[in-house]
Amino acid sequence: MSAPPFSPSPEFVILCELLEHESGFVSGTALAEKLGVSRVAVWQHMEKLRDQGFGFEAVRSRGYRLIRRPAILNAGLVVAHLGPRGRSIRIVCLNEVDSTNDEAARRLAAGEPAPFVVLARRQTRGRGRLGRAWHSADNGNLYASFAFRPRIEPGRMQTFTLWMGVNICELVANFCSARPGLKWPNDLIFDGRKAGGMLTEARIDADQIRDLVFGLGLNVNSPASAWPAELARRAISLAEHAGEPLDLNRFTAALIGRVLLAYGRFVEGDYRDTFADLWHRYDVLRGCPVTLLEGTHRHSGTALGIDDEGCLLIRDARGKSHRFRAGEVTMEKGS
Ligand code: BTN
């Protein structure tokens, strides 16, 4: 199933025109002609944009100019920044949801065409790995779940989250000149603190993936003061790391574009050449003393990186290497 054709709302058409001519003015007559409506109708559509947090300067005989954009997540801005790629994926933008992963799974189960992405300003039951809660306040952070129906064998899924992780690191590094890191298998790290986490969930038929949800929680703009006490020393946002807030809507558009690209390369299988090098570049564990908790078993040693199947390699004190498909890793203090 493919995404339904994109039909832009009048507000979206106005927004795109104003963004395209941001340094100048766009006349009300030109907007009315473009939309095939009266100038009064244009004004009414612009009121709706004002309600969303946009601001305009109106000058007689020149027209309108965009002078303020909402800082919070705005579906129209995300799609406008995505450009033509925005038409290849449906974007569902919610004020509040229990979990974007759960919402995406419900929509897939109901037969909604994929791909699509669910974004929310806050989650009431955001989930992390191992059933942990994911702090999901409305504080300028990103909660996103991408839904796909890939036709691949379940065995290939082990490297999916890792591949997405390196792509998100590449995006963040380019977007805000930051130096992100990855802690196997799913943590995004800045300055030794957690900036994001990924949660991939798949429904599997006999020998094929039926559908797949890739969830990402990324601390984009929350100030240090916004964390609850138990997270204050462990969590960090991109804004905190970069020293200034990021344009959340531009960033979200860039993220969607990157995830779509990365997904395509994963399904085609043409990611293997670059994957190992990229993981190496961002791997924060490599060469460090670590302990991996696997059920009730603890394995200590030095992290050596990952193998072709995405398993973590650890060399024990006797020099023997072990590979782990899953587990919870902690870095030893001082490393
Ligand atoms: C982890 O580090 O354990 C993974 C955290 C994943 C959190 C994201 S936020 C968007 C999506 N919805 C959820 O309920 N979880 C993921």
Of the segments 21-30, 113-122, 237-246, which one has the largest average pLDDT value?
113-122
Helix, strand or coil, per DSSP, at residue 188: strand
Sheet holding 321-324, edge to edge: 321-324, 312-315, 297-306, 289-294, 328-331
How far is Cα 121 from Cα 189, in angstroms, rounded to an integer? Answer: 22
Q: Where are the domains of the chain?
A: 10-68, 75-282, 289-331
pLDDT one-digit tens code per residue, 201-255: 999 987 889 999 999 999 999 998 889 999 989 999 999 988 899 999 999 999 9
Say if ligand 1 is within 6 A of residue 101 CB.
Answer: yes
Fold classified for 10-68: Arc Repressor Mutant, subunit A (1.10.10)
* pTM: predicted TM-score of the whole model, two decimal places: 0.93
Q: Is the CB of 220 under 6 A from ligand 1?
A: no
Which of 139, 187, 199 to probe ligand 1 with, by most ligand atoms within 8 A of CB?
199
Question: Which DSSP state fits 140?
Answer: S
Most ligand 1 atoms within 8 A of CB, residue of 106, 143, 182, 188 to mutate: 143
Question: Options 2.30.30.100, 2.60.120.10, 3.10.20.310, 2.60.40.1120; which CATH number does 289-331 get?
Answer: 2.30.30.100
Indicate which atom in ligand 1 lies nearest the CA of residue 125.
14
Residue 111 phi, psi (nearest 5): 90, 15
Distance 118 CA to ligand 1 centre (A): 12
**CA nearest ligand 1 atom 7, residue:** 217
Residue type, 309: E
Q: Which of 57, 40, 39, 52 is nearest to 12 (CA)?
A: 52
Q: How far apart are CA 150 and CA 314, in angstroms?
A: 32
Percent of the chain with pLDDT over 90: 80
Give the pLDDT mean for 25-38: 94
Fold entry, domain 75-282: BirA Bifunctional Protein; domain 2 (3.30.930)
Residue of higher predicted confidence among 270 and 48: 48
Taking the CA of residue 128 as reference, the ligand 1 atom at the shortest distance is 3
The mean pLDDT value for 255-269 works out to 95
The per-residue pLDDT for range 288-316, each reduced to its tens digit, is 999 999 888 999 999 999 998 999 999 99
d(CA 39, CA 101): 42
What distance in angstroms lies between residue 117's CA and the mean position of ligand 1's atoms? 14
Q: 317: which residues sit within 8 A by CB, 6+ positions away? A: 300, 301
